[in-house]
Structure 1
Amino acid sequence: MPLVNFFIAGAPKCGTTSMYNYMKDHPDIFMCPVKEPHFFARGLIHIRGMVISESEYISLFKSAPPSKSIVGEATAMYLYFPEALRRIKDYNPEARIMILLRNPVDMLLSRFYTLRYNFFEDAADFQTAWNLQETREMGEAIPPGCLDPDTLRYRKHGMLGDQIEILESIFPREQIIYILFDDMKKDMPGVYKRSLEFLDLPYDGRTDFPLSNERKNWKNESLGRVFSYFEQSYPLVVARIKNILPASFFALIKGMIVKKQSNTPIPEEFRRELVEVFSGQVEKLERITGRDLSDWKK
């Protein structure tokens, strides 16, 4: 197999799915057909459908044409696990790492809704889930559908500054690009061009940047559990189906069982509490990225 030389390694709920889709469409990039294979996090996290064996991982890239100068994959949880980052460095010391970043408070709220959608979380609201963290650390109040209680450690997952410091202790700065979720919303064409420059690739003229992974919920919970289990357990099958069937057909099927939902604001007092919890992390991100993130401290 060709050596994977590009990793979208984090962070979850920061636009990684959209970026994966944009990169996948570039003529000089081959992206792993399965988003989130989790191969370099094997043994560190327990989820359905993750790629465990090296032979299975290799098979994901067997169709990569020699003409593609960039061969990549996207697993947003790699940033969270220092050992996963070290494994990537051992695998390919020259690998380029893309990290997408977002206000930790907004990231965790979005993560909460995604965990509920996937039946990993059963708390009625994010504040309840946040307050359950200590109880869950003791192995209590774990939702039946949650295979790995570590996914419910919201505070730890929000420590983006610490995670970035570890990343930069493993990979040289010139092999890393940081993308802000705020920039993606304001100027995705500019972000896209900068990403291609980082990969030493020409701009392909792309002007359309549809968003992925907007907040959604199941119209029917029982049917949703079945569909969610299949999506998580057989990601390669799902990827092949998406490649065979027209996107409109897949969207029609999904539209019959999924509904879009707008974000529910969290109580202002609780938000201020979270801003205070992560203020030190935001300051680290400011120092590392050289960006003014004062809006993330409000």
Structure 2
Amino acid sequence: MTLPNFLIVGAAKAGTTALYRYLQQHPQIYMTPTKETNFFAFEGEVINFAGVGDEALREFSITDFKTYQAQFQGVTEEKAIGEACPSYLYYPQAAAKIKQYTPDARLIVILRNPITRAYANFLHTVRDDREYHHDFALALQDEATRIADNWEWFWHYIQVGFYGRQLQHYYEYFPRDRIKIYLYEDLKTDAIALLQDIFRWLEVDASFVPDMALHPNKSGMPKNKLLHRILTKPNPVKTLLKPLFPAKLRQKIQHQNLNTPQLSPEVKQQLLDLYRADILKCQDLIQRDLQPWLGESAV
């Protein structure tokens, strides 16, 4: 029975999609064809979230073991077998489930300043035409109500950022030498060094360099909504033009059409006040200096 021997467990909007794409290219690494199976978060559950666009989560999530196991049918001679699913860091039951099914798994975590992470999360839902508030402060005000009304976890802009609380579950189930922690800043500053460190840790060829020209999953508010829909939604124009524009060019145009408005000082301070204690807890847990997350320059 083939199951993963490593997992990228989060955090959301911190580079997990990029890591999935880069690791997927390595000849000695197998990644599940479905990114974000959500199996260890929702095993045995009926997924029925009520938020805008939440039906998509039900469509791609896997909740039964037989279907999850089928994700690994393509494994041949790869040494490292993995999946990437940022919901695993957020859902407390995931750590116990992973320990149950794959007790010796290695876990990769990449963390981003929780303030900028929450804002990127918000911009992601705006980009995808799910978020009807285009004011981040208003969306934050609605978060508790949305959670109470059973909107899926990706709407939990604030709650997803309490990494100290979330990581504690993993340290309770896995020894420290099975958990590898990176920061989003590591990925942005020197992605090659970060990947080579992962390759060494997974005991695969560390000299391999993936194609990193594509930068998946960028968030932002579309400047031109019509152009954004043509580039990202199924439509006859996109189908017609797709053969004429390589993926890299299409992505470049899409990214240039995305704007990131400045985050207001009031919202920054509100979130910093909420996160301060957890950031300090996280700092102690992962033994990395997170003081920049507490300063003005980080946000």
User: TM-score under structure 1 normalisation?
Assistant: 0.82
Q: What does 1:237-276 correspond to in 2, within 5 Å?
A: 249-250=246-247, 260-276=257-273
User: Cα deviation per residue 1:94-135 (whole Å; 9 max; x = unaligned)?
Assistant: 011100101000001001111223344221121110112244
Q: Residue type matched to 1:285 in 2?
A: C
| Structure 1 stretch displaced more, 32-41 or 101-110 | 32-41
Distance 2:187 2:255 in 1: 25
Shift of 1:53: 2.6
- 1:108 match: 118
Work out which of the residue numbers 62, 69, 74 in structure 2 matches 1:63. 74
Quickly say closer, same or farther: Cα 1:247–1:283, change in 2 above 3 A: farther
- 1:132 match: 142
Shift of 1:77: 0.6
How many residue pairs match? The answer is 274
User: TM-score under structure 2 normalisation?
Assistant: 0.82
Quickly say closer, same or farther: Cα 1:254–1:219, change in 2 above 3 A: farther
Contact 2:26 2:210 in 1 (8 A): no
Distance 1:120 1:175 in 2: 37
Shift of 1:74: 0.6
Contact 2:25 2:210 in 1 (8 A): no
- 1:219 match: 226
Distance 1:221 1:68 in 2: 38
User: Cα deviation per residue 1:26-66 (whole Å; 9 max; x = unaligned)?
Assistant: 1110011111111222238642321223222222211111x
Shift of 1:3: 2.1
Distance 2:243 2:110 in 1: 29
The runs of 5 or more residues in structure 2 that have no matched partner are: 50-56, 236-241
Contact 2:197 2:206 in 1 (8 A): no
Answer yes or no: is 1:49 the counterpart of 2:53.
Answer: no
- 1:142 match: none
Work out which of the residue numbers 173, 177, 184 in structure 2 matches 1:174. 177
Shift of 1:205: 3.3
Helix, strand or coil at the partner of 1:219: helix
Q: Residue type matched to 2:206 in 1?
A: Y
Q: Residue type matched to 1:50 in 2?
A: S
Answer yes or no: is 1:165 the counterpart of 2:168.
Answer: yes
Helix, strand or coil at the partner of 1:30: strand
Identity of aligned residues (%): 27
Structural RMSD (CA): 2.8
Shift of 1:166: 1.3
